[in-house]
Amino acid sequence: MSTKKKVGISDLLRDEAQKVSDPNIIEVQAEDVTDAVSQSPSRNTLSAGKPQSSDHSQAKITSLESALAQSQKRETELSQTIADLQKDLKFSQTNVELLQKSLAAIEQLKNELDQQLVEVKRDNLRLAEANIQLSEQVKAMEAAKAPVVEEPTSSQLVSQNPQNQNRATPRKQPVEQPYPHRDRNPYARPTGSNEQLQRINNRNIGWMD
């Protein structure tokens, strides 16, 4: 059994020696080297194509960065617009609240004025009724105080005074008026010649009553 084991080992060693000295293996290695050489130009081609793809990527990145900057700027503008709109909305809400309060106050004042107007109309009606009653009372009192006098007719006047028809109306006597110049000297005719008479002066003028 031990001999078989030795033979087996020697056979294995021989097989390994044959594999090492086999010319096919060298050709395979040569083919491998040829493949490596043939693959080297493709690697150079890849290395030469890298700058073009890098430039394209850089341009794309630049375009994306520009678009991003514009988007951020637009976002900032929209945020400011939204803030302004919110501020205006808050101001409008405040104004609406103030207007609602003012409207409520005006409505309350209108109701109060309407109530006062109703009361004033009621008072005016009461005063008018009281005035009418007072006027009627005054008229009734005046009618009660004034005596009723019937105007006599012409026949009653004739029958009541039959003697007055024949009685003459007495004539008024003249009243003697005092004359203040009655006691003066009577008129005296001037004497003298014509020339003397023509000379009228205060001495020979006569006075008449």
In angstroms, the CA 71 to CA 81 distance is: 15
Q: In a 10 Å sphere around its CB, with 0-12 CB exposed, 13-18 middle and 19+ buried, how is residue 83 labelled?
A: exposed
In angstroms, the CA 198 to CA 193 distance is: 9
Cβ neighbors of 204 (< 8 A, separation 6 or more) are 190, 197
- Three-class DSSP labels, 177-205: CCCCCCCCCCCCCCCCCHHHHHCCCCCCC
Spell out the per-residue pLDDT of the chain, length 209, in tens: 444 444 566 676 677 666 655 544 444 444 444 444 444 445 554 454 555 678 888 888 989 999 999 999 999 999 999 999 999 999 999 999 999 999 999 999 999 999 999 999 999 999 999 999 999 999 999 888 876 666 656 555 555 555 555 555 656 665 555 555 555 555 556 565 566 555 555 555 555 44
Cβ neighbors of 133 (< 8 A, separation 6 or more) are none
Structural domain spans, the chain: 2-143
Q: Are 186 and 207 in contact (CB under 8 A)?
A: no
pTM over 0.75: no
**What confidence tens digit (pLDDT) does each residue in 80-129 have?**
999 999 999 999 999 999 999 999 999 999 999 999 999 999 999 999 99
In angstroms, the CA 49 to CA 129 distance is: 117
